[in-house]
Amino acid sequence: CKILRCNSEYVAATLHLRGPGAAFCTALRSYSLCTRRTARTCRGDLAFHSAVHGIEDLMIQNNCSKEGPTAPARPRPPAPNPQGFELLDICDYERSFLYKHGRPPGFQHCAAFGDPHIRTFHDEFHTCRVEGSWPLLDNDYLFVQATSSPVAKGSNATVTSKLTIIFKNMKECIDQKVYQAELDNVPAAFQDGSVNGGARPGGSSLAIWERSPGRHVEIRADYIGTTIAVRQAGRQLSFSIRAAEEVARAFTEEQDLQLCVGGCPHSQRMSRSPRGRGRVPAETARALCREMLPVEDVYFQSCVFDVVTSGDTNFTMAAHGALEDARLFLPDAEKLHIFQ
């Protein structure tokens, strides 16, 4: 598939243009011609389909006719170093999207923390019992699995005790990488010991940053416009993600079980109003949670539920961390607090 060559020729042709006009339309028609020539070998390539749709949008926006002159094909310049413009374009999702569509991409946020409580990409909020292993995400780019175990002996409530994140191979940018965290083991490296996407020229577009040793890591996957935070607070792990909309939606009907997309299955949902005798009185839990979460939204309610159920006051930090991730990751600040 030669779509990268089409992309680089288009970038080179338009790099010095000051705005739309005849030369811009000529470059777009040339870009379109290049994609048609490579259509057979690129049929299953996401970058190819993104380019085709992007060209159509740009031609409509700039009133370019499909018929007209095209520029002669430019010879492909040798890359003087592995950080050439073509590579930066294909392994920097936000920059590439902005260039193709004339606007920044949209983003979605999902989180799993505490009991676990799930905030879906669609801002729905569920508390799940989900003991065992369940997929949070399963799409063309990412697979994320959370393993849960009971929060206390005899309790229906569960907490995430293990997280497995697979960044799937993207030949232009990264090797497949696996990240795994368990209680008391939140490493600042992938399973193979590396801290980036590998030896490929775009390997730096995937990187791990340690925010708090053994407690909080951030994984930036710039090649798919995605950032992930993994935290440990008390005896539970939490997961938060900011994903490009195109990435979050890149799955088939067979990949229908994703807690970040559909929330908990109905049979696994729990009320956040703990019944019976808890390990901490509800009023005590409310006072503790109010210190960290002054707004009585679903994060506050989840905090109270977790402290009452587990007796572990560290769960106030789990809810607070999830709220702080949402503050950073949510594209719309007005959706930060959810009230039910």
Residue 306 structure tokens: 């977790």
Q: Examine the pLDDT at 15 and tell me if it is beyond 80.
A: no
Give pLDDT tens digits for 268-315. Answer: 888 776 555 577 899 999 999 999 999 999 999 999 999 998 888 989
- Flag whether 124 is in a domain: yes
pLDDT bin (cut points 50, 70, 90) of residue 77 is very low
Give the residue from 16, 52, 20 showing the smallest Cα distance to 33: 52
Q: Is the dihedral of CA 328, 333, 339, 340 positive or negative?
A: negative
| Last residue within a domain, chosen from 219, 234, 269 | 269
Residues 15 and 162 placed together within one structural domain of the fold: no
| Higher-scoring residue by pLDDT: 27, 119 | 119
pLDDT at 128 over 50: yes
> How confident is the model over 33-49, as a mean pLDDT?
85
Nearest CA-CA partner of 312 in 340, 337, 288: 288
What value, to the nearest 5°, has the Cα angle with vertex 284 and ends 279 and 285?
Answer: 70
pLDDT for residue 156: 64
pLDDT at 82: 42
Tokens 């109270």 found at: 304
Reply yes or no on whether the pLDDT at 30 is more than 50.
yes
- Residue 76 pLDDT class (50, 70, 90 cuts): very low
Q: Which two tokens stand for residue 173?
A: 């940018």
Q: In this prediction, what percent of the chain has a pLDDT beyond 90?
A: 53
The answer to whether residues 54 and 113 belong to one domain is no
* Rounded Cα–Cα distance for residues 234 and 241 (Å): 21
pLDDT computed for residue 263 by the predictor: 93
The CATH number covering residue 140 comes to 3.40.1000.10
Domain identity same for 251 and 190: yes
Instruction: Record the tokens describing residue 168, joined without a space.
Output: 């799937």
State the sign of the Cα–Cα–Cα–Cα dihedral 315, 317, 320, 326: negative
User: Would you mind telling me the total number of residues written for the chain in this entry?
Assistant: 340
Q: Are residues 253 and 133 in the same domain?
A: yes
Question: Do 155 and 239 lie in a common domain?
Answer: yes
pLDDT digit string, tens, across residues 193-230 = 999 999 888 899 999 999 999 999 999 999 999 999 99
pLDDT over 70 percentage in the chain: 91
47-75 average pLDDT score: 81
Domain that holds residue 182: 107-269
Is the pLDDT at 26 greater than 60? The verdict is yes
Rounded to the nearest integer, the mean pLDDT of the chain is: 87
pLDDT at 34 over 60: yes
